[in-house]
């Protein structure tokens, strides 16, 4: 093991990404089955490192998102575009009643279809990349093969060209997790930069909540046109509708704000824990069960002895390994985790439903032959999707970081999250109102499409400034581990 050479070439194994995610990530949810038969010998793959002690659901959601969000967003947006064009260009008589029903309002076609397609691609995309996952590539049922598989971890890490770390707050406390990451760094040839991809498992739930908020917002925008019609006829209660919509929006924003604050706290704890890391403090499952298998009652050997022997062989001594964890591992985790939750690309991948909703609104003017108004709506869709929402989230994330500290009482802590949520909603409403006022001001002077283009350009410029200017939104570690310690 310490020489990082395989006992047999076929012990270095991998599965395809879609196999690892099969049955909604059954392998990660603790389902017992013969997953090993899916794996095949390989020479190069990505190593997936994760802790078995964090939330399984969050991990599976995050995996789906990091692996399949891009094809899901891309294909669904193409579908939304095709549906818009179909409605706009078709003059099919059977669609006449649809046109008359939805005239002047959003035609709810793109958003539901594209959203369904997004979900299907996200869940069932057959991604072919090869990956190593412990539960699928090490035989769990044959004691001898299992022991041999564990012995080959060094060789497997050496054959991996990159490592995906699914990080949660239990990760830095687990002996095997820190061992894997340190061994991966050690296995890189001199001068080669290690390709480490670190994804917090909070990403999955956060994006799910964010998407829920966007869908609720789009749905309410559709309904508002109908409610306004009913009110003008004297039969509809518009105020209760807006109060209900406001409450749902604040609730979703609250969940996002609370998760973002929690995440900032967890990354800060990581810095403090790893700065004072000692090998003796890292926990191993074997020690936690007293080296007695809870299922069979038989004795199990201690992983710590094996790990310590390898550490001494690779790093010279335990002190040097601890120094590596306190400097290199901390620096990599800290610098990537500080920005991992809020990457511009990730936000764009997760929120194309904004564009789909605007596409629905543009169908009506298209059917009436008003290309100018339709173009303005589509450009506004791009502006909100690629500019306004990412800029808005950059500001909110910065604020969540400033307000991350846990308050003494639970109520006070939730109140801070609620204040952040209300601030977010106010900021968004002000942006929408200001945009409407600007449109009213420029309307006599400019065609609608030209206004849409100006709005699109200015919001994209704002987003680019916020995401690229370190002063506005630091790309450096937020939590103080110096990037200068990164010497890998």
Which residues are at the interface with Zn ion (CB under 5 A)? 284, 286-287, 302, 304
Nearest to Zn ion of 284, 419 (CB atom): 284
As a 3-state breakdown, the chain gives helix, strand, coil percent values, each rounded to 5, of 70, 5, 25
113 burial (CB, 10 Å; 0-12 / 13-18 / 19+) is middle
Gap between the terminal Cα atoms of the chain: 23
Q: Is the Cβ of residue 175 or residue 378 nearer to Zn ion in the bound state? A: 175
CB of 417 to Zn ion, least distance (A): 40
- As measured in angstroms, the least distance from the Cβ of 291 to Zn ion is 6
**DSSP secondary structure code for residue 53 in this structure:** T
Can you tell me the distance from the alpha carbon of 298 to that of 286, in angstroms, rounded to the nearest whole number? 12
CB of residue 279 to Zn ion, shortest distance in Å: 12
What's the token pair of residue 388?
A: 């306004």
Q: How far is the CB of 309 from Zn ion (least distance, A)?
A: 13
CB of 285 to Zn ion, least distance (A): 8
CB-CB contact of 397 with 341 (8 Å): yes
**Of 284 and 454, CB closest to Zn ion:** 284
Please state whether beta strands 40-41 and 13-16 pair in parallel, antiparallel, or not at all (unpaired).
Answer: antiparallel
Which is closer to Zn ion, CB of 305 or CB of 411?
305
Give 410-415's long-range contacts (Cβ < 8 A, gap of 24+): 414/254, 414/258
- Quote the Cα angle for 449-450-451, to 5°: 90
Cβ at position 179, least distance to Zn ion in Å: 13
Smallest separation (angstroms) from Zn ion to the CB of 15:
28
Sign of CA dihedral 367, 369, 371, 372: negative
* Paired residues of 14 in beta bridges: 40
Q: What is the DSSP letter of 15?
A: E
Looking at beta carbons only, is 290 or 470 nearer to Zn ion? 290
Distance CA 71, CA 17 (A): 14
Q: Which backbone phi and psi does 317 adopt, to 5 degrees?
A: -155, 170
For Zn ion, the closer of residues 37 and 288 by Cβ is 288
- Quick one: 302 or 412, whose CB is closer to Zn ion? 302
Regarding beta strands 196-200 and 160-167, do their DSSP bridges make them parallel or antiparallel, or are they unpaired? Answer: parallel
CA–CA gap between residue 44 and residue 157 (Å, rounded) = 10
Residue 159 CB, nearest approach to Zn ion (Å): 27
Specify the residue, 116 or 292, whose C-beta has the smaller distance to Zn ion.
292
d(CA 353, CA 342): 18
């Amino acid at each position: 093991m310490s020489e990082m050479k395989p006992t047999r070439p076929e012990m270095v194994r991998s599965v395809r990404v879609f196999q690892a995610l099969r049955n909604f990530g059954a392998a990660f949810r603790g389902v017992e089955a013969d997953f090993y038969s899916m794996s095949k010998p390989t020479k190069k793959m990505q190593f997936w490192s994760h802790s078995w002690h964090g939330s399984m659901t969050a991990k599976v959601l995050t995996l789906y998102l990091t692996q399949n969000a891009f094809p899901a967003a891309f294909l669904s947006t193409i579908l939304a575009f095709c549906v818009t064009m179909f409605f706009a260009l078709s003059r099919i008589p059977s669609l006449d009643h649809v046109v008359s029903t939805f005239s002047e309002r959003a035609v709810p076609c793109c958003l539901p279809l594209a959203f369904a397609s997004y979900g299907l691609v996200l869940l069932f995309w057959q991604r072919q990349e090869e990956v190593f996952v412990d539960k699928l590539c090490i035989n769990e049922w044959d004691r001898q093969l299992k022991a041999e598989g564990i012995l080959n971890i060094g060789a497997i890490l050496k054959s991996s060209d990159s490592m995906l770390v699914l990080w949660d707050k239990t990760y830095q406390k687990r002996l095997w997790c820190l061992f894997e990451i340190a061994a991966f760094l050690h296995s890189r040839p001199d001068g080669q930069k290690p390709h480490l991809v670190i994804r917090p498992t909070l990403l999955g739930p956060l994006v799910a909540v964010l998407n829920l908020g966007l869908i609720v917002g789009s749905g309410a925008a559709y309904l508002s046109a109908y409610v306004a019609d009913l009110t003008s006829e004297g039969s509809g209660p518009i105020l209760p509708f807006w109060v209900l919509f406001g409450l749902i929006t604040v609730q979703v924003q609250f969940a996002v704000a609370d998760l973002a604050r929690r995440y900032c706290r967890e990354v800060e704890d990581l810095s403090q824990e790893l700065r004072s890391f000692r090998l003796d403090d890292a926990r191993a499952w074997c020690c936690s069960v007293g080296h007695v298998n809870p299922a069979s009652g038989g004795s199990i050997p201690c992983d710590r002895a094996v790990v310590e022997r390898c550490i001494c062989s690779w790093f010279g001594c335990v002190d040097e390994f601890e120094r590596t964890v306190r400097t290199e591992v901390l620096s990599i985790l800290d610098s990537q985790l500080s920005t991992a939750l809020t990457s511009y690309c990730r936000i764009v991948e997760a929120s194309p439903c904004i564009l789909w909703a605007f596409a629905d609104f543009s169908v009506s003017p298209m059917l009436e032959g008003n290309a100018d108004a339709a173009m303005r709506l589509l450009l506004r869709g791009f502006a909100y999707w690629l500019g306004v929402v990412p800029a808005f989230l950059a500001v909110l994330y910065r604020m969540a970081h400033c307000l991350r500290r846990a308050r003494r009482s639970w109520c006070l802590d939730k109140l801070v999250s609620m204040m952040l949520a209300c601030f977010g909603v106010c900021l968004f409403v002000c942006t929408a109102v200001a945009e409407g006022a600007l449109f009213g001001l420029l309307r006599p002077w400019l065609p609608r499409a030209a206004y849409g283009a100006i709005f699109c350009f200015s919001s994209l410029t704002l987003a680019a400034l916020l995401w690229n200017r370190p002063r506005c939104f630091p790309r450096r570690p937020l939590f103080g581990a110096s990037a200068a310690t990164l010497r890998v």
